[in-house]
Structure 1
């Protein structure tokens, strides 16, 4: 699977060009499924109007509204209650998964409970995510980002990439997200870690990592 891990969506031409390159065809010829699940685990973004804004393509973080051939909704909390043949073929056939931000551990829990986590490595789709949707691909997120507490505790996530992410670097509405805070967070991580602003994304294809940015970012070595 290919990953385009953003801080805040497809926010500039460089990130959009990377997405089109990974798709191998225009956005207008590509089918998408959006996953809002992480939003419900975070008090700032769900449930309510922001979840609707993401799904309907009316958010401030361009993902659903890019002009896809088709867009469907995949709500992970519903999947354990329906048969796999109702949703697995749909996921296998889609060109891209669009994954919202919110709470990374809540999203991780439902990716595992739904069975999507097991399915992801075998998909041909491009996984495009922002914030918590990106962070969940890391081996762990760090104690600073623990909000919703999983049943077994800890900060472990899916580990489908071998680095962790500190999103929304120097965001005007998040005064605690400074480079100094990112450095303190990175000091507690056991793997390479990236601090990234909202104009930055990380592209991963077959384990090869490339930063795509019109903003600023920093790689921390463990």
Structure 2
């Protein structure tokens, strides 16, 4: 799977160019599935913000980029649908657009739905994460970002990549570089702090930072 892990979606031309490179074809020729699930787990989000994400009314560019088609994949519904139905939907998509919200809630439903188990076989699919949609692919998010408590507790996520992500650097008064440094001490592993003009591109284990803003790598 090819990853574009963003803080705030496809927010500038450099990130858009990286997305097109990962797709290997124009956005207008690509079919997308958007995943709003993380929205329902975070106290700042809800049905209205989920609708804005799906409809492209959000200020964070994802579904409104000019895709050939956009569908909705709601992970909480998948356990009630046979895999024979929904797995082809995922396999036929060129890109999965994954909303922000609560990373732990998203992680739980990726596992419960079976999507997490499917990921290793999606070799040519592009995963575009927005905030929590990016953080879910990391090993840990840190207590700083835990809002929804999973049945297993803790802050462990999918570990598709070997680094953690501190998003929205500088956006809120408390998302400072000092806060990121305190957070990474708990993480005890490699991590990136990224602002909303930055994304992390991952292809076959090779990591590239794409940025028109501010970011920092904390090495383990």
Please name the residue that 2:189 is paired with.
Answer: 191
User: Using the alignment, how far apart are the partners of 2:107 and 2:138 within structure 1?
Assistant: 10
4+ runs of 1 displaced by more than 4 Å?
none
Q: Deviations over 1:2-25 (max 9, x none)?
A: 000000000000000000000000
Q: Match of 1:70?
A: 69
Gaps of 5+ in 1: none
Cα shift readout 1:81-100 (whole Å, capped 9, x = no counterpart)? 11111100010111000000
Q: How far apart are residue 43 of structure 1 and its match? A: 1.3
**How large is the RMSD of aligned CA atoms in angstroms?**
0.6
Match of 1:133 in 2: 133
Pick the aligned partner of 1:202 from 200, 203, 206.
200
The correspondence of residues 1-222 of structure 1 with structure 2, limited to 5 A, is: 1-46=1-46, 48-123=47-122, 124-171=124-171, 174-222=172-220
Cα distance in 2, alignment partners of residues 50 and 136 from structure 1: 19
Normalising by structure 2, report the TM-score: 0.99
Q: What is the CA-CA distance between 1:190 and the residue it aligns to?
A: 2.4
- Where does the alignment leave 5 or more consecutive residues of structure 2 unmatched? none
Paired with 1:189 and 1:113, the residues of 2 have a C-alpha distance of 25
3-state DSSP class of the match of 1:87?
A: helix
C-alpha distance in 2, partners of 1:36/1:19? 20
Cα displacement (A) at 1:191: 1.6
Task: Find the aligned partners of 1:121 and 1:218 in 2 and give their Cα distance.
Answer: 28
Structure 1 position 121, deviation (Å): 1.4
Question: How many pairs does the alignment contain?
Answer: 219
Mean alpha-carbon deviation: is it higher for 50-59 or for 107-116? 50-59
